[in-house]
Amino acid sequence: MQKTRFDQPGHPPATITEFEGVRSLHLGTSWVQGAMRLSKPDAIELEYVQMMMMWMLFLQQPRHIAQLGLGSAALTKFCHGRFPGARVSVAELNPNVIAVCQAMFGLPPNDDRLNVRQMDALDFVHDPANRGAIDVLQVDLYDEEARGPVLDSPEFYQACSDCLTEHGIMTANVFGEFDNYERNLQHMELAFDAVVWLPEVHDANIVAIAFKTAPVLDFSVLYERAAAIRKTFNLPARKWVDGLKEWMLDQG
Q: What is the pLDDT of residues 191-220, one digit of tens each?
A: 999 999 887 766 667 899 999 999 988 999
Q: What is the pLDDT of residue 250?
A: 81
| Residue 141 pLDDT exceeds 70 | yes
Query: What are the angstrom distances between the C-alpha of 56 and each of 9, 170, 171, 204?
Result: 38, 11, 11, 23
Nearest to 55 by CA among 165, 183, 130, 142: 165
Mean per-residue pLDDT, 14-28: 91
Q: What is the pLDDT of residue 200?
A: 72
Summary mean pLDDT of the chain:
90
Q: What is the pLDDT of residue 100?
A: 95
Report the alpha-carbon distance of residue 206 to residue 245 in Å, rounded: 16
| Residue 47 pLDDT exceeds 50 | yes
Q: What is the pLDDT of residue 157?
A: 95
Of the chain, the percentage scoring pLDDT greater than 90 comes to 71
Nearest to 89 by CA among 127, 55, 116, 59: 116
pLDDT band at 245 (very low <50, low <70, confident <90, very high): very high
Least confident of 79-88, 132-141, 156-165, 195-204: 195-204
pLDDT band at 1 (very low <50, low <70, confident <90, very high): very low
Q: What is the pLDDT of residue 204?
A: 67
Beta bridge partners of 207: 173
Strands 14-19 and 64-68: unpaired
Mean per-residue pLDDT, 220-244: 97
Report the alpha-carbon distance of residue 240 to residue 51 in Å, rounded: 7
Mean per-residue pLDDT, 20-34: 88
Nearest to 88 by CA among 118, 66, 121: 66
Mean per-residue pLDDT, 11-19: 89
Mean per-residue pLDDT, 97-114: 96
Of the chain, the percentage scoring pLDDT greater than 70 comes to 91
pTM exceeds cut of 0.85: yes
Beta bridge partners of 91: 68, 117
Nearest to 59 by CA among 198, 209, 197: 209
pLDDT band at 116 (very low <50, low <70, confident <90, very high): very high
Q: What is the pLDDT of residue 2?
A: 45
Q: What is the pLDDT of residue 162?
A: 98
| Residue 74 pLDDT exceeds 80 | yes
